[in-house]
Structure 1
Protein backbone atom coordinates (compact mmCIF):
# COMPACT_ATOMS: atom_id res chain seq x y z
CA UNK A 1 0.00 0.00 0.00
CA UNK A 2 1.31 3.41 -0.91
CA UNK A 3 1.64 6.08 1.74
CA UNK A 4 1.32 9.81 1.08
CA UNK A 5 1.74 13.19 2.72
CA UNK A 6 1.77 16.87 1.78
CA UNK A 7 4.73 17.43 -0.53
CA UNK A 8 7.73 19.06 1.13
CA UNK A 9 10.00 21.69 -0.44
CA UNK A 10 12.77 19.09 -0.72
CA UNK A 11 10.43 16.72 -2.59
CA UNK A 12 9.27 19.54 -4.88
CA UNK A 13 12.89 20.15 -5.82
CA UNK A 14 13.52 16.42 -6.41
CA UNK A 15 10.37 15.99 -8.53
CA UNK A 16 11.26 19.09 -10.57
CA UNK A 17 14.48 17.32 -11.58
CA UNK A 18 12.72 14.20 -12.92
CA UNK A 19 13.41 13.76 -16.64
CA UNK A 20 11.08 11.96 -19.01
CA UNK A 21 12.16 10.58 -22.40
CA UNK A 22 10.71 10.91 -25.89
CA UNK A 23 7.27 12.45 -26.29
CA UNK A 24 6.91 12.50 -22.51
CA UNK A 25 9.76 15.01 -22.20
CA UNK A 26 7.07 17.69 -22.50
CA UNK A 27 6.43 16.93 -18.81
CA UNK A 28 10.00 17.82 -17.80
CA UNK A 29 9.91 20.71 -15.39
CA UNK A 30 11.85 23.89 -14.80
CA UNK A 31 13.90 24.04 -11.58
CA UNK A 32 11.90 24.42 -8.38
CA UNK A 33 13.56 27.76 -7.60
CA UNK A 34 12.23 29.18 -10.90
CA UNK A 35 8.75 27.85 -10.13
CA UNK A 36 8.88 29.64 -6.78
CA UNK A 37 9.92 32.94 -8.35
CA UNK A 38 7.27 32.60 -11.11
CA UNK A 39 4.56 31.40 -8.68
CA UNK A 40 3.97 28.53 -11.12
CA UNK A 41 3.73 24.76 -10.68
CA UNK A 42 5.07 23.82 -7.27
CA UNK A 43 5.46 27.55 -6.53
CA UNK A 44 1.75 28.30 -6.99
CA UNK A 45 0.14 28.58 -3.54
CA UNK A 46 -3.27 27.59 -5.01
CA UNK A 47 -1.97 24.08 -5.70
CA UNK A 48 -2.21 21.23 -3.17
CA UNK A 49 0.55 18.69 -3.76
CA UNK A 50 0.89 15.29 -2.13
CA UNK A 51 3.84 12.89 -2.48
CA UNK A 52 3.36 9.13 -2.74
CA UNK A 53 5.82 6.56 -1.45
CA UNK A 54 6.29 2.84 -1.86
CA UNK A 55 8.37 2.19 1.22
CA UNK A 56 11.20 4.70 1.00
CA UNK A 57 10.85 5.33 -2.75
CA UNK A 58 9.13 8.50 -3.97
CA UNK A 59 7.04 7.05 -6.82
CA UNK A 60 4.69 9.90 -7.67
CA UNK A 61 2.73 12.96 -6.71
CA UNK A 62 -0.62 14.60 -7.24
CA UNK A 63 -2.02 18.10 -7.31
CA UNK A 64 -5.59 18.72 -6.18
CA UNK A 65 -6.60 22.20 -7.30
CA UNK A 66 -9.95 23.35 -6.00
CA UNK A 67 -12.14 25.35 -8.34
CA UNK A 68 -15.52 26.92 -7.54
CA UNK A 69 -17.59 23.85 -8.34
CA UNK A 70 -15.04 21.07 -8.91
CA UNK A 71 -11.49 19.84 -8.34
CA UNK A 72 -8.77 19.38 -10.96
CA UNK A 73 -6.52 16.37 -10.38
CA UNK A 74 -3.00 16.36 -11.77
CA UNK A 75 -0.76 13.29 -11.51
CA UNK A 76 2.93 12.64 -11.99
CA UNK A 77 4.74 9.32 -11.71
CA UNK A 78 8.51 8.97 -11.45
CA UNK A 79 9.89 8.28 -14.95
CA UNK A 80 11.39 4.93 -13.87
CA UNK A 81 8.08 3.85 -12.30
CA UNK A 82 5.76 4.49 -15.27
CA UNK A 83 3.94 1.40 -16.52
CA UNK A 84 4.21 -0.44 -13.20
CA UNK A 85 0.72 0.23 -11.86
CA UNK A 86 1.60 3.13 -9.58
CA UNK A 87 -0.44 5.66 -11.55
CA UNK A 88 -3.69 3.75 -11.13
CA UNK A 89 -3.11 3.29 -7.39
CA UNK A 90 -2.17 6.94 -6.93
CA UNK A 91 -5.28 8.12 -8.80
CA UNK A 92 -7.57 5.90 -6.69
CA UNK A 93 -6.01 7.26 -3.50
CA UNK A 94 -6.30 10.82 -4.87
CA UNK A 95 -10.04 10.32 -5.41
CA UNK A 96 -10.45 9.25 -1.77
CA UNK A 97 -8.31 12.15 -0.55
CA UNK A 98 -10.23 14.69 -2.64
CA UNK A 99 -13.51 13.52 -1.12
CA UNK A 100 -12.10 13.99 2.39
CA UNK A 101 -10.63 17.43 1.65
CA UNK A 102 -13.19 18.86 -0.80
CA UNK A 103 -16.34 16.84 -0.15
CA UNK A 104 -18.41 15.64 -3.08
CA UNK A 105 -17.08 18.14 -5.63
CA UNK A 106 -16.66 16.59 -9.08
CA UNK A 107 -13.08 15.52 -9.77
CA UNK A 108 -11.75 15.87 -13.29
CA UNK A 109 -8.48 15.62 -15.18
CA UNK A 110 -7.21 17.22 -18.36
CA UNK A 111 -5.14 14.74 -20.35
CA UNK A 112 -3.25 15.30 -23.59
CA UNK A 113 -5.07 13.28 -26.25
CA UNK A 114 -1.88 11.58 -27.52
CA UNK A 115 -1.06 10.25 -24.03
CA UNK A 116 -2.85 6.92 -24.41
CA UNK A 117 -0.81 5.43 -21.55
CA UNK A 118 -2.29 8.00 -19.14
CA UNK A 119 -5.81 7.74 -20.59
CA UNK A 120 -5.81 3.95 -20.09
CA UNK A 121 -4.44 4.33 -16.56
CA UNK A 122 -7.10 6.85 -15.57
CA UNK A 123 -9.86 4.76 -17.14
CA UNK A 124 -8.75 1.78 -15.03
CA UNK A 125 -9.03 4.05 -11.97
CA UNK A 126 -12.63 4.96 -12.82
CA UNK A 127 -12.38 8.07 -15.01
CA UNK A 128 -13.90 8.35 -18.47
CA UNK A 129 -13.62 10.84 -21.31
CA UNK A 130 -16.31 13.52 -21.38
CA UNK A 131 -17.11 15.10 -24.75
CA UNK A 132 -14.77 15.82 -27.62
CA UNK A 133 -11.08 16.74 -27.38
CA UNK A 134 -10.38 20.48 -27.10
CA UNK A 135 -7.39 22.70 -27.76
CA UNK A 136 -5.75 24.38 -24.79
CA UNK A 137 -2.59 26.38 -24.14
CA UNK A 138 -0.72 25.50 -20.94
CA UNK A 139 2.57 26.71 -19.47
CA UNK A 140 4.26 23.80 -21.29
CA UNK A 141 2.63 24.49 -24.65
CA UNK A 142 -0.51 24.11 -26.69
CA UNK A 143 -2.17 20.76 -27.10
CA UNK A 144 -5.30 18.76 -27.70
CA UNK A 145 -6.84 17.54 -24.43
CA UNK A 146 -9.51 15.22 -23.14
CA UNK A 147 -11.55 16.07 -20.07
CA UNK A 148 -11.83 12.96 -17.94
CA UNK A 149 -13.99 12.59 -14.87
CA UNK A 150 -15.54 9.95 -12.68
Structure 2
Protein backbone atom coordinates (compact mmCIF):
# COMPACT_ATOMS: atom_id res chain seq x y z
CA UNK A 1 0.00 0.00 0.00
CA UNK A 2 1.44 3.34 -1.04
CA UNK A 3 1.69 6.24 1.39
CA UNK A 4 0.62 9.69 0.20
CA UNK A 5 0.26 13.30 1.24
CA UNK A 6 -0.22 16.77 -0.21
CA UNK A 7 2.89 17.57 -2.27
CA UNK A 8 5.55 19.83 -0.80
CA UNK A 9 7.40 22.45 -2.85
CA UNK A 10 10.58 20.33 -2.67
CA UNK A 11 8.70 17.29 -4.02
CA UNK A 12 7.23 19.33 -6.88
CA UNK A 13 10.75 20.44 -7.84
CA UNK A 14 11.91 16.81 -7.80
CA UNK A 15 8.98 15.69 -9.98
CA UNK A 16 10.08 18.18 -12.64
CA UNK A 17 13.48 16.44 -12.91
CA UNK A 18 12.05 13.09 -14.00
CA UNK A 19 13.02 12.11 -17.57
CA UNK A 20 11.24 9.45 -19.59
CA UNK A 21 12.67 7.25 -22.37
CA UNK A 22 11.60 6.96 -26.00
CA UNK A 23 8.12 8.05 -26.99
CA UNK A 24 7.32 8.75 -23.33
CA UNK A 25 9.87 11.62 -23.29
CA UNK A 26 7.06 13.99 -24.27
CA UNK A 27 5.85 13.63 -20.66
CA UNK A 28 9.02 15.34 -19.37
CA UNK A 29 8.03 18.52 -17.55
CA UNK A 30 9.64 21.95 -17.67
CA UNK A 31 11.46 23.19 -14.60
CA UNK A 32 9.44 24.05 -11.53
CA UNK A 33 10.81 27.60 -11.77
CA UNK A 34 9.21 27.94 -15.22
CA UNK A 35 5.92 26.59 -13.89
CA UNK A 36 6.09 29.08 -11.02
CA UNK A 37 6.82 32.01 -13.34
CA UNK A 38 3.81 31.12 -15.51
CA UNK A 39 1.67 29.73 -12.65
CA UNK A 40 0.75 26.56 -14.54
CA UNK A 41 1.03 22.81 -14.01
CA UNK A 42 2.28 21.84 -10.56
CA UNK A 43 2.65 25.54 -9.63
CA UNK A 44 -0.94 26.49 -10.44
CA UNK A 45 -2.33 27.66 -7.08
CA UNK A 46 -5.72 26.10 -7.96
CA UNK A 47 -4.17 22.68 -8.65
CA UNK A 48 -4.29 20.13 -5.83
CA UNK A 49 -1.21 17.85 -5.99
CA UNK A 50 -0.67 14.66 -3.98
CA UNK A 51 2.61 12.66 -3.93
CA UNK A 52 2.86 8.88 -3.45
CA UNK A 53 5.63 6.86 -1.84
CA UNK A 54 6.66 3.23 -1.55
CA UNK A 55 8.80 3.48 1.57
CA UNK A 56 11.32 6.24 0.86
CA UNK A 57 10.82 6.07 -2.94
CA UNK A 58 8.72 8.79 -4.56
CA UNK A 59 6.76 6.68 -7.06
CA UNK A 60 4.38 9.26 -8.44
CA UNK A 61 2.00 12.15 -8.16
CA UNK A 62 -1.59 12.98 -9.05
CA UNK A 63 -3.31 16.29 -9.46
CA UNK A 64 -6.90 17.49 -9.34
CA UNK A 65 -8.29 20.69 -10.81
CA UNK A 66 -11.88 21.82 -10.31
CA UNK A 67 -13.12 22.55 -13.83
CA UNK A 68 -16.73 23.50 -13.13
CA UNK A 69 -19.04 20.48 -13.45
CA UNK A 70 -16.09 18.06 -13.59
CA UNK A 71 -12.65 17.63 -12.06
CA UNK A 72 -9.59 17.29 -14.28
CA UNK A 73 -7.31 14.43 -13.17
CA UNK A 74 -3.60 14.14 -13.95
CA UNK A 75 -1.07 11.51 -13.01
CA UNK A 76 2.67 10.99 -13.33
CA UNK A 77 4.64 7.88 -12.39
CA UNK A 78 8.36 7.84 -11.64
CA UNK A 79 10.10 6.58 -14.80
CA UNK A 80 11.77 3.84 -12.70
CA UNK A 81 8.35 2.64 -11.47
CA UNK A 82 6.32 2.61 -14.71
CA UNK A 83 4.53 -0.64 -15.49
CA UNK A 84 4.56 -1.88 -11.87
CA UNK A 85 0.88 -1.23 -11.03
CA UNK A 86 1.36 1.94 -8.97
CA UNK A 87 -0.85 3.99 -11.29
CA UNK A 88 -3.99 1.98 -10.61
CA UNK A 89 -3.62 2.33 -6.84
CA UNK A 90 -2.83 6.05 -7.13
CA UNK A 91 -5.87 6.60 -9.36
CA UNK A 92 -8.19 4.83 -6.91
CA UNK A 93 -6.88 6.88 -3.97
CA UNK A 94 -7.34 10.13 -5.92
CA UNK A 95 -10.86 9.23 -6.98
CA UNK A 96 -11.82 8.80 -3.31
CA UNK A 97 -10.03 12.04 -2.40
CA UNK A 98 -11.74 13.92 -5.24
CA UNK A 99 -15.12 12.90 -3.84
CA UNK A 100 -14.17 14.45 -0.49
CA UNK A 101 -12.82 17.65 -2.05
CA UNK A 102 -15.38 17.96 -4.89
CA UNK A 103 -18.43 15.87 -3.89
CA UNK A 104 -20.53 14.53 -6.73
CA UNK A 105 -18.23 15.67 -9.53
CA UNK A 106 -16.92 13.13 -12.03
CA UNK A 107 -13.24 12.94 -12.94
CA UNK A 108 -12.00 13.36 -16.49
CA UNK A 109 -8.62 13.11 -18.13
CA UNK A 110 -7.05 13.23 -21.55
CA UNK A 111 -4.66 10.50 -22.67
CA UNK A 112 -2.77 10.03 -25.90
CA UNK A 113 -4.39 7.37 -28.06
CA UNK A 114 -1.12 5.43 -28.45
CA UNK A 115 -0.55 5.14 -24.67
CA UNK A 116 -2.18 1.73 -24.22
CA UNK A 117 -0.47 1.16 -20.85
CA UNK A 118 -2.09 4.29 -19.37
CA UNK A 119 -5.46 3.57 -20.99
CA UNK A 120 -5.52 0.09 -19.40
CA UNK A 121 -4.63 1.62 -16.02
CA UNK A 122 -7.47 4.14 -16.26
CA UNK A 123 -9.96 1.49 -17.40
CA UNK A 124 -9.03 -0.70 -14.40
CA UNK A 125 -9.81 2.32 -12.21
CA UNK A 126 -13.29 2.78 -13.70
CA UNK A 127 -12.68 5.34 -16.47
CA UNK A 128 -14.32 4.92 -19.87
CA UNK A 129 -13.55 6.61 -23.18
CA UNK A 130 -15.96 9.50 -23.60
CA UNK A 131 -16.56 10.49 -27.22
CA UNK A 132 -14.38 10.58 -30.31
CA UNK A 133 -10.65 11.12 -30.63
CA UNK A 134 -9.64 14.72 -29.91
CA UNK A 135 -6.89 16.33 -32.01
CA UNK A 136 -5.16 19.22 -30.29
CA UNK A 137 -1.95 21.22 -30.43
CA UNK A 138 0.65 20.49 -27.79
CA UNK A 139 4.18 21.70 -27.11
CA UNK A 140 5.34 18.77 -29.26
CA UNK A 141 3.00 19.41 -32.21
CA UNK A 142 -0.46 18.00 -32.77
CA UNK A 143 -1.55 15.02 -30.68
CA UNK A 144 -4.48 12.60 -30.74
CA UNK A 145 -6.17 12.08 -27.38
CA UNK A 146 -9.01 10.19 -25.80
CA UNK A 147 -11.10 11.97 -23.21
CA UNK A 148 -11.85 9.51 -20.43
CA UNK A 149 -14.43 9.93 -17.70
CA UNK A 150 -15.15 8.32 -14.35
CA UNK A 151 -18.61 9.18 -13.16
CA UNK A 152 -19.71 9.25 -9.56
CA UNK A 153 -22.20 6.56 -8.53
CA UNK A 154 -24.91 9.18 -7.97
CA UNK A 155 -23.86 11.47 -10.85
CA UNK A 156 -26.12 11.36 -13.87
CA UNK A 157 -27.04 13.70 -16.72
CA UNK A 158 -25.04 16.71 -15.53
CA UNK A 159 -26.30 16.89 -11.97
CA UNK A 160 -25.97 15.08 -8.68
CA UNK A 161 -29.03 13.06 -7.78
CA UNK A 162 -30.17 12.65 -4.22
CA UNK A 163 -29.49 9.22 -2.80
CA UNK A 164 -32.65 7.13 -2.47
CA UNK A 165 -33.88 5.35 0.66
Residue equivalent to 1:81: 81
Q: Give the CA deviation at 1:6.
A: 0.9
How far, CA to CA, are the matches of 2:95 and 2:18 in structure 1? 24
Residue equivalent to 1:91: 91
How far, CA to CA, are the matches of 1:70 and 1:2 in structure 2? 26
List structure 1 segments (4+ residues) > 4 angstroms apart after TM superposition.
none
1:110-133: CA deviation from partner (whole Å, max 9, x where unpaired): 111111110011111111111111
- Residue pairs, 1:1-150, within 5 angstroms: 1-139=1-139, 141-150=141-150
Q: Give the CA deviation at 1:141.
A: 4.3
SS at match of 2:99: helix
Normalised to the residue count of structure 1, the TM-score between the two structures is 0.95
- Which structure carries more helix by proportion? 1
How far, CA to CA, are the matches of 1:145 and 1:117 in structure 2? 14
What count of residue pairs does the alignment treat as equivalent? 150
How far, CA to CA, are the matches of 1:73 and 1:131 in structure 2? 17
Which structure would you say has the larger Rg? 2
Which blocks of at least 5 consecutive residues in structure 2 are unaligned?
151-165
Which blocks of at least 5 consecutive residues in structure 1 are unaligned?
none
